[in-house]
A and B are shown apart, each in its own frame.
Chain A
Protein backbone atom coordinates (compact mmCIF):
# COMPACT_ATOMS: atom_id res chain seq x y z
CA UNK A 1 0.00 0.00 0.00
CA UNK A 2 1.47 3.32 -1.01
CA UNK A 3 1.71 6.09 1.54
CA UNK A 4 0.99 8.78 -0.98
CA UNK A 5 -2.59 9.00 -2.27
CA UNK A 6 -3.62 10.72 -5.43
CA UNK A 7 -6.38 13.40 -5.14
CA UNK A 8 -8.85 11.40 -7.24
CA UNK A 9 -9.00 8.51 -4.77
CA UNK A 10 -11.52 8.19 -1.96
CA UNK A 11 -10.55 10.11 1.18
CA UNK A 12 -8.53 8.21 3.76
CA UNK A 13 -11.30 8.23 6.38
CA UNK A 14 -13.54 6.21 4.06
CA UNK A 15 -10.97 3.45 4.01
CA UNK A 16 -10.51 3.53 7.75
CA UNK A 17 -14.20 3.62 8.59
CA UNK A 18 -15.36 1.18 6.01
CA UNK A 19 -19.07 1.29 6.82
CA UNK A 20 -21.20 1.55 3.74
CA UNK A 21 -24.49 3.23 4.48
CA UNK A 22 -26.36 1.66 1.60
CA UNK A 23 -25.21 -1.80 2.67
CA UNK A 24 -26.15 -1.09 6.26
CA UNK A 25 -29.64 0.01 5.27
CA UNK A 26 -30.25 -2.90 2.93
CA UNK A 27 -32.86 -5.27 4.31
CA UNK A 28 -33.29 -8.61 2.63
CA UNK A 29 -36.69 -10.14 2.04
CA UNK A 30 -35.76 -12.87 4.48
CA UNK A 31 -34.99 -10.34 7.25
CA UNK A 32 -38.17 -8.41 6.56
CA UNK A 33 -40.29 -11.57 6.67
CA UNK A 34 -38.71 -12.53 10.00
CA UNK A 35 -39.38 -9.05 11.35
CA UNK A 36 -43.04 -9.29 10.31
CA UNK A 37 -43.36 -12.70 11.96
CA UNK A 38 -41.88 -11.28 15.16
CA UNK A 39 -44.36 -8.39 14.96
CA UNK A 40 -47.12 -10.98 14.59
CA UNK A 41 -45.82 -12.75 17.71
CA UNK A 42 -45.92 -9.40 19.51
CA UNK A 43 -49.58 -8.92 18.56
CA UNK A 44 -50.41 -12.43 19.76
CA UNK A 45 -48.64 -11.82 23.09
CA UNK A 46 -50.62 -8.58 23.42
CA UNK A 47 -53.87 -10.48 22.94
CA UNK A 48 -52.77 -13.08 25.50
CA UNK A 49 -52.00 -10.27 27.95
CA UNK A 50 -55.52 -8.84 27.50
CA UNK A 51 -56.94 -12.34 28.00
CA UNK A 52 -54.92 -12.83 31.19
CA UNK A 53 -55.94 -9.41 32.49
CA UNK A 54 -59.62 -10.08 31.85
CA UNK A 55 -59.52 -13.51 33.51
CA UNK A 56 -57.36 -12.77 36.50
CA UNK A 57 -58.40 -9.20 37.26
CA UNK A 58 -60.24 -9.07 40.55
CA UNK A 59 -63.47 -7.12 40.58
CA UNK A 60 -62.67 -4.16 42.82
CA UNK A 61 -64.58 -3.69 46.05
CA UNK A 62 -66.12 -0.24 46.09
CA UNK A 63 -66.71 1.58 49.35
CA UNK A 64 -70.02 3.21 50.25
CA UNK A 65 -69.66 6.93 50.40
CA UNK A 66 -72.17 9.71 51.05
CA UNK A 67 -71.75 12.15 48.19
CA UNK A 68 -74.57 14.66 48.58
CA UNK A 69 -77.72 15.67 50.32
CA UNK A 70 -80.81 15.54 48.11
CA UNK A 71 -81.80 19.10 48.97
CA UNK A 72 -78.48 20.70 48.19
CA UNK A 73 -78.80 20.20 44.41
CA UNK A 74 -81.64 21.91 42.50
CA UNK A 75 -83.21 20.28 39.43
CA UNK A 76 -80.75 20.85 36.59
CA UNK A 77 -77.93 21.35 39.06
CA UNK A 78 -74.71 19.42 39.43
CA UNK A 79 -72.28 18.52 42.14
CA UNK A 80 -68.70 17.40 41.66
CA UNK A 81 -67.30 14.75 43.94
CA UNK A 82 -64.58 12.10 44.07
CA UNK A 83 -65.28 8.38 44.00
CA UNK A 84 -63.93 5.76 44.73
CA UNK A 85 -60.55 7.47 45.27
CA UNK A 86 -59.83 11.20 45.64
CA UNK A 87 -58.19 11.10 42.19
CA UNK A 88 -61.38 9.89 40.46
CA UNK A 89 -63.44 12.99 39.78
CA UNK A 90 -67.15 12.43 39.18
CA UNK A 91 -70.17 14.51 38.36
CA UNK A 92 -73.64 14.17 39.89
CA UNK A 93 -76.53 15.56 37.85
CA UNK A 94 -80.08 16.10 39.05
CA UNK A 95 -82.16 15.72 35.90
CA UNK A 96 -85.60 15.77 37.55
CA UNK A 97 -87.17 15.88 40.98
CA UNK A 98 -86.22 12.25 41.64
CA UNK A 99 -83.64 11.74 38.90
CA UNK A 100 -80.06 11.62 40.07
CA UNK A 101 -77.35 10.33 37.76
CA UNK A 102 -73.64 10.26 38.48
CA UNK A 103 -70.79 9.54 36.09
CA UNK A 104 -67.04 9.65 35.99
CA UNK A 105 -66.00 13.11 34.86
CA UNK A 106 -63.20 11.75 32.66
CA UNK A 107 -64.07 11.70 28.98
CA UNK A 108 -63.41 8.24 27.52
CA UNK A 109 -61.63 9.81 24.56
CA UNK A 110 -58.64 11.63 26.07
CA UNK A 111 -59.67 12.08 29.70
CA UNK A 112 -60.72 15.73 29.61
CA UNK A 113 -63.27 16.72 32.26
CA UNK A 114 -66.85 16.68 31.01
CA UNK A 115 -69.42 19.27 32.12
CA UNK A 116 -73.22 19.33 32.19
CA UNK A 117 -75.22 21.24 29.60
CA UNK A 118 -78.61 21.91 31.11
CA UNK A 119 -80.28 23.06 27.87
CA UNK A 120 -79.61 19.80 26.05
CA UNK A 121 -79.42 17.54 29.12
CA UNK A 122 -76.05 16.26 27.93
CA UNK A 123 -72.57 15.92 29.30
CA UNK A 124 -70.15 17.68 27.01
CA UNK A 125 -66.43 17.34 26.58
CA UNK A 126 -64.92 20.71 25.61
CA UNK A 127 -61.70 19.28 24.17
CA UNK A 128 -63.01 17.49 21.09
CA UNK A 129 -66.76 18.13 21.32
CA UNK A 130 -67.78 14.71 22.54
CA UNK A 131 -71.31 14.48 23.97
CA UNK A 132 -72.75 11.95 26.39
CA UNK A 133 -76.31 11.36 27.52
CA UNK A 134 -76.91 12.64 31.05
CA UNK A 135 -79.42 9.79 31.51
CA UNK A 136 -77.16 6.79 30.96
CA UNK A 137 -73.75 8.14 29.96
CA UNK A 138 -73.93 6.73 26.42
CA UNK A 139 -72.02 8.45 23.63
CA UNK A 140 -74.24 10.72 21.55
CA UNK A 141 -71.71 12.43 19.36
CA UNK A 142 -68.02 12.95 18.79
CA UNK A 143 -64.88 10.87 19.16
CA UNK A 144 -65.38 9.14 22.56
CA UNK A 145 -65.28 5.37 21.95
CA UNK A 146 -67.08 4.26 25.11
CA UNK A 147 -69.84 5.44 27.46
CA UNK A 148 -68.88 7.24 30.65
CA UNK A 149 -68.45 4.91 33.65
CA UNK A 150 -71.57 5.19 35.75
CA UNK A 151 -71.50 5.68 39.50
CA UNK A 152 -74.13 3.51 41.14
CA UNK A 153 -76.21 5.48 43.61
CA UNK A 154 -78.47 4.58 46.48
CA UNK A 155 -80.80 6.96 48.20
CA UNK A 156 -80.76 6.63 51.96
CA UNK A 157 -83.31 9.08 53.34
CA UNK A 158 -82.13 12.49 52.28
CA UNK A 159 -78.64 11.33 51.44
CA UNK A 160 -77.24 10.02 48.16
CA UNK A 161 -74.72 7.26 48.62
CA UNK A 162 -72.29 6.03 45.95
CA UNK A 163 -72.00 2.25 46.13
CA UNK A 164 -70.08 1.23 43.00
CA UNK A 165 -68.90 1.94 39.47
CA UNK A 166 -70.35 0.33 36.38
CA UNK A 167 -68.04 0.43 33.36
CA UNK A 168 -69.49 0.04 29.88
Chain B
Protein backbone atom coordinates (compact mmCIF):
# COMPACT_ATOMS: atom_id res chain seq x y z
CA UNK B 1 0.00 0.00 0.00
CA UNK B 2 2.80 2.35 1.02
CA UNK B 3 4.70 1.29 -2.09
CA UNK B 4 1.76 2.14 -4.30
CA UNK B 5 1.43 5.57 -2.65
CA UNK B 6 5.12 6.25 -3.15
CA UNK B 7 4.91 5.25 -6.82
CA UNK B 8 1.87 7.48 -7.29
CA UNK B 9 3.70 10.39 -5.69
CA UNK B 10 6.73 9.81 -7.90
CA UNK B 11 4.56 9.80 -11.03
CA UNK B 12 2.82 12.96 -9.81
CA UNK B 13 6.16 14.64 -9.27
CA UNK B 14 7.31 13.77 -12.78
CA UNK B 15 4.07 15.17 -14.23
CA UNK B 16 4.43 18.36 -12.21
CA UNK B 17 8.06 18.78 -13.28
CA UNK B 18 7.01 18.28 -16.90
CA UNK B 19 4.23 20.86 -16.59
CA UNK B 20 6.66 23.29 -14.95
CA UNK B 21 9.23 22.84 -17.71
CA UNK B 22 6.53 23.46 -20.31
CA UNK B 23 5.42 26.63 -18.51
CA UNK B 24 9.04 27.86 -18.47
CA UNK B 25 9.20 27.25 -22.22
CA UNK B 26 5.92 29.12 -22.82
CA UNK B 27 7.10 32.08 -20.73
CA UNK B 28 10.35 32.24 -22.72
CA UNK B 29 8.31 32.31 -25.95
CA UNK B 30 6.16 35.07 -24.45
CA UNK B 31 9.23 37.14 -23.53
CA UNK B 32 10.48 36.82 -27.10
CA UNK B 33 7.02 37.72 -28.44
CA UNK B 34 6.81 40.81 -26.23
CA UNK B 35 10.25 42.05 -27.25
CA UNK B 36 9.51 41.43 -30.94
CA UNK B 37 6.13 43.23 -30.69
CA UNK B 38 7.75 46.19 -28.91
CA UNK B 39 10.54 46.37 -31.47
CA UNK B 40 8.01 46.28 -34.28
CA UNK B 41 5.84 48.94 -32.61
CA UNK B 42 8.83 51.25 -32.15
CA UNK B 43 9.70 50.75 -35.81
CA UNK B 44 6.25 52.07 -36.72
CA UNK B 45 4.64 48.74 -37.69
CA UNK B 46 1.40 48.62 -35.72
CA UNK B 47 -0.01 45.65 -37.67
CA UNK B 48 1.94 43.07 -35.66
CA UNK B 49 0.48 44.14 -32.30
CA UNK B 50 -2.86 42.31 -32.65
CA UNK B 51 -1.55 38.84 -33.63
CA UNK B 52 1.17 39.15 -30.97
CA UNK B 53 -1.42 39.98 -28.29
CA UNK B 54 -3.70 37.10 -29.37
CA UNK B 55 -0.86 34.60 -29.38
CA UNK B 56 0.42 35.89 -26.03
CA UNK B 57 -3.10 35.50 -24.60
CA UNK B 58 -3.24 31.90 -25.84
CA UNK B 59 0.13 31.18 -24.25
CA UNK B 60 -1.07 32.70 -20.98
CA UNK B 61 -4.19 30.52 -21.05
CA UNK B 62 -1.98 27.49 -21.68
CA UNK B 63 0.12 28.45 -18.64
CA UNK B 64 -3.03 28.73 -16.51
CA UNK B 65 -4.24 25.33 -17.75
CA UNK B 66 -0.87 23.75 -16.97
CA UNK B 67 -0.83 25.33 -13.51
CA UNK B 68 -4.31 23.94 -12.79
CA UNK B 69 -3.21 20.57 -14.14
CA UNK B 70 -0.15 20.58 -11.85
CA UNK B 71 -2.26 21.62 -8.84
CA UNK B 72 -4.75 18.82 -9.58
CA UNK B 73 -2.01 16.21 -9.78
CA UNK B 74 -0.43 17.58 -6.63
CA UNK B 75 -3.76 17.29 -4.80
CA UNK B 76 -4.32 13.74 -6.12
CA UNK B 77 -0.85 12.54 -5.22
CA UNK B 78 -1.22 13.88 -1.68
CA UNK B 79 -4.56 12.12 -1.41
CA UNK B 80 -6.47 15.27 -0.53
A and B from one complex = yes
Residues on A facing B (Cβ under 8 Å): 29-30, 32-34, 36-37, 39-41, 43-44, 46-48, 50-51, 53-55, 145-147, 166-168
Closest chain-B Cβ to A118's Cβ sits at a distance in Å of 28
Closest chain-B Cβ to A47's Cβ sits at a distance in Å of 4
Residues on B facing A (Cβ under 8 Å): 16-17, 19-20, 23-24, 26-27, 30-31, 33-34, 37-39, 41-46, 49-50, 52-53, 56-57, 59-60, 63-64, 66-67, 70-71, 74
CB <8 Å contact, A168 and B45: yes
CB <8 Å contact, B24 and A47: no
Using Cβ atoms and an 8 Å threshold, which residues of chain A touch B57?
44, 47
Using Cβ atoms and an 8 Å threshold, which residues of chain B touch A32?
20
Q: How far is the CA of A154 from the CA of B61 in the complex (A)?
A: 50
Chain A to chain B contacts (Cβ below 8 Å), 9 pairs: A33-B16, A36-B63, A43-B60, A46-B34, A50-B41, A50-B49, A51-B50, A145-B43, A168-B45
